[in-house]
A and B are shown apart, each in its own frame.
Chain A
């Protein structure tokens, strides 16, 4: 083993240690969740939600969804042309956040929410009924 090489090697190790020491005395970059949260971007894709009253229950979102997580229940109300939305079921255990339903809706009635705190112990808690959620929000 060449002693000069070992010395050079040792010097490179000391340079590495200098970097670690510098980091040791710097401020950590972590965020203390759940006591503090980081801001989400406005485009964050949580689960979808109804944005207004304009859903016509056409079922395009149901047809375009790759995993089949949307189920629309519609009914005919006399006096109104077309169908009216009765219930909008979203099975969130299958949603892949692709955004095809949001894109496809001709009325622009669905959008992404910013909800990410969705942990639960039961699978049933992840089947959302979006119409009642919209009504309780408004």
Chain B
């Protein structure tokens, strides 16, 4: 997990510059080697043109595309987690009506605080604290629910509340795990970088061999690769970057809850 810490600590633009620099240096290195080889061997350039470089570029492009797909899936899972959570909290909040006082009021206060904690953590970025506080609130909610179920006039009503509460607790775990653990693994990052560097080096090698240096085209290829890696990194980050998870569902819920008190 150290690599994730390192990657997350760097700002995104610095990662982009680093990726671009790695690819560009590989290209230049390949170019120098190719140029030196071209004096000795004339026919090699036909071989290199005959599929080797294309094959490598193709594989690198595919690997990037599929990793992009995986990162986008994880991003969607995080977004879904927020939506599902808001839905479960809303249901529990409404069903608290079925419980007798004083549990009803107490549970509603706890749920209100639960939503506040979540939205507050997004603003302040103190995730660990918010997780601990949420779990404490869950314990208190559960205690309220079980005691109220003994006193409820009809246990079926209590069960109606317990069900969404179980869901809230399960969705919290999902949210935490999806946010912190469903990332692109380190080893895939390493392989992606090595493949990109090797592919850029072979483009450089090829143009060194043929002696035709087209920096503009090479620049375009390298820029495209670095941009895609940048996008994958952005999608993969749980917080921040240009692609943020919207908390609109939770904010709406907060507004509705607060409107009801007044």
Q: Do A and B come from one complex?
A: no
Q: Chain A: residues with CB nearer than 8 A to chain B?
A: none
- Chain B interface (Cβ < 8 Å from any Cβ of A): none
